[in-house]
Structure 1
Amino acid sequence: MYRISELAEKVGLSRSTLLYYEKVGLISAKRQANGYRSYSEQDLQRLKLLQQLQAGGLSLKECQSCLESRIDRGLLLQRLKVLDDEIAEKQQARELLSAMLGMSSMRDWHQTTEKQAPHAHLDWLMKQGFDEKQALRLKWLSKDMNEHELYMADFELIFDGLERLGPGTEVDSLTALKATLPSTDPLKAVLSSTESLKAEPFNSGELLEIGCGKGVATRVLALHSEFTITALDNDKSNLNSLNKNLDKALKQRVNTVCASMTELPFERDQFDVIWCEGGAYIMGVEQALKDWKPYIKAQGYLVLSDLVWSSDNPCDELRAFWLQEYPDMVSAKQRIEQAKQAGYELIDSFPLSEQAWSDYYAPLQGRVDELEAMMPNSKALADVKMELEIFHKRQGEFDYQMLVLKKM
């Protein structure tokens, strides 16, 4: 027989816990002549069995049920699932802590966070010491803060020497530029072919090109308009490439600015046209429609191109890929509706030509073929190869759509 203090010591429980167990009928004390409680060996064994059952995650009431009748298999299966879920959560927590300490990849975490809280994700990255340029590149390219530097070094090597950083052609740019002419302008009536578009410059005023990259579109705009052009990019090396490709006459009308598209360093109502080919996705097209509007003059234009679905039912592989790479991707119709909701009138909308795709992906494929043997373990090269594979399966299910919008 055991006194309550002895039983408590043997099972590692408090006196109050044993008294509660006695109250609910798990153990049963006998009163001695002196009034003290005493417990039997059976009570001790029952408590130890109870503790083993509790180790399986059962509640006290469930443990008591198991002690007093046959095991409820359905109950145990349910408890097993709960434990499996808890273990999985703990494993995820461990993997995240390990990744944050630099011991493994954070790619899955970055991708999930980007989908659920993109703005908070960017702010957090900048608090970790990344400047905005690097944080944006991490969000959209490397997706892993632990391997960002290596990824970007490989990425820049892949694109070294390539003219374009995304789909586009001179003809597509000129078609959009022509749409910014007033309908009463006599030039608009005659500028119907590529040759006539090249015949003489048109349009004047101030144009801001956001995300100009290496300046492929900048040069087209400068050659075929009389705009004073401000070419903005957050990558100084891109702006250096742009300046190298401009002759002396064009340099007089093109001013380069190294700054962020999310914080434009300009005056309100400063520009007749804001132009952005393929770059608005970086900050989010809906956000760009809203944030850039104050910098456009009344009745001025916003011209942008964006990746959109051209099929209502894209195949599962393409849908899964772009859901991962571009969660905000919508149809052209939805983008147009967003623009209207933001206070723009649609002037023109058209998908980029097939030539726009080949002018970008053909040189990129050649570059991948050239580097593949040298970079067998490169994640950047693997990502580019996957994008090329998706492009070859495109079959008209997605497009780049050019939108010409007028500020209302």
Structure 2
Amino acid sequence: MEDITIREFEFALINEFFTELERQGPGSPEETIRALSFISNLSSKAKIADLGCGTGAQTMVLAQNTKATITALDLYAGSIDKLNVTAEKLGLQNRVKGIVGSMDNLPFRNDEFDLIWSEGAIANIGFEKGLNHWKNFLKKDGYVVITYESWFTDERPAEIEKWWVDAVPEIGTIAHNISIMQKTGYIPVAAFTLPESCWIDNYFVPQKARQEEFLKKHAGNKTVEDMIAFMRREADLYSKYKQYYGYVFYIGKKL
């Protein structure tokens, strides 16, 4: 198990597992709103892209706390279908639209957006690569807001170092990531860590019942068994080593 990363599991199975959960990664409405508080000048004419949006928990928070038009993009059609259904239920369908697409090949025009948002997804294409690519689609003085796995300390135990370097080869400290943000053409505006509740209460705990149900549904499927074992190990490692790493909100303004 130690040499397996989440990318090696079948994406269809990961998608099937997570689309039934409210969140596909650590976070909370409160922290999304906190990050949003650093962004100025979002009028009713503003346009937001939410990249790697999953089923759209944070998309709806953005829509309910701004007057902007939001395009939410994810690779999985099932997630996008659920997002669009939720937008309609909340009466937000005129301002929120989910589309299927890839974060590293965006189907947008240059300088189209006032704000690019992405929670827990940029690691899929790389922190530096994502910031470089996405900048093209931001207006001058537009903002990028992302959460990204980061080290809180310069040194950490070998067990957790190996786990995260296998999962996110580019993982760096907060200071290193801010320097990458500067290097790629953004003025750093803010950076803050997500509290433990975003991981435990909103991510790991809701997975528990889903894991049992998923194992029963796919009884005998080795890929599913490995995937659930991976998730359980991730939760165990977090409880053991949470002082060394976590998600950090990074907020930058395009030069």
5 Å matches for 1:5-404? Answer: 141-143=6-8, 151-152=10-11, 154-181=13-40, 203-204=43-44, 205-246=46-87, 247=89, 249-358=91-200, 359-371=202-214, 375=219, 377=222, 378-404=225-251
Asked if structure 2 preserves the Cα contact closer than 8 Å seen for 1:212 and 1:233, the reply is yes
Higher strand share: 2
- Preserved CA contact (<8 Å) 2:19 2:54: no
Q: 1:362 corresponds to which letter in structure 2? A: V
Q: Secondary structure at the match of 2:24?
A: coil
One-letter code of the match for 2:94?
A: Q
Q: Is the 8 A contact 2:19 2:79 kept in 1?
A: no
**What SS does the aligned partner of 2:147 have?**
strand
Judging changes above 3 Å, is the alpha-carbon distance between structure 1 residues 159 and 264 closer, same or farther for their aligned structure 2 residues? closer
What amino acid maps onto 2:73 in structure 1?
L
RMSD between aligned residues: 2.1
Residues 367 and 392 from structure 1, CA distance in 2 versus in 1: closer, same or farther, beyond 3 angstroms?
farther
Counterpart Cα distance in 2 of 1:323 and 1:256: 32
1:242 is aligned with what amino acid? L
Flag the structure with higher helix content: 1
Q: How many residues align?
A: 247
Which of 391-400 and 163-172 deviates more? 391-400
Compare relative contact order (CA 8 Å, sep 6+) and give the higher one, 1 or 2: 2
Given residue 37 of structure 2, which amino acid in structure 1 is its aligned partner? K
SS in 1 for 2:92: helix
CA 1:372–1:394: 2 relative to 1, 3 Å: farther
Q: Quote the residue 1:91 is aligned against.
A: none
Name the TM-score, length of structure 2 as normaliser.
0.89
Where do 5+ consecutive residues of structure 2 fail to align? Answer: none
* Structure 1 residue 354 displacement after superposition: 2.0
Contact 2:84-2:97 within 8 A present in 1 as well: no
The structure with the largest alpha-carbon Rg is: 1
Structure 2 distance, partners of 1:371, 1:256, is 26
> What is the deviation of 1:367?
2.4
| CA distance in structure 2 between the partners assigned to 1:352 and 1:243 by the alignment | 27
Deviations 1:159-192 (A, max 9, x none): 352111100000110111110025xxxxxxxxxx
Q: For 1:297, give the aligned amino acid.
A: K
Residues 131-178 of structure 1: CA distance to partner in whole angstroms, max 9, x if unpaired? xxxxxxxxx6352xxxx6xx4454345435211110000011011111
Report the TM-score when normalising by structure 1: 0.57
Percent identity of paired positions between Structure 1 and Structure 2: 30
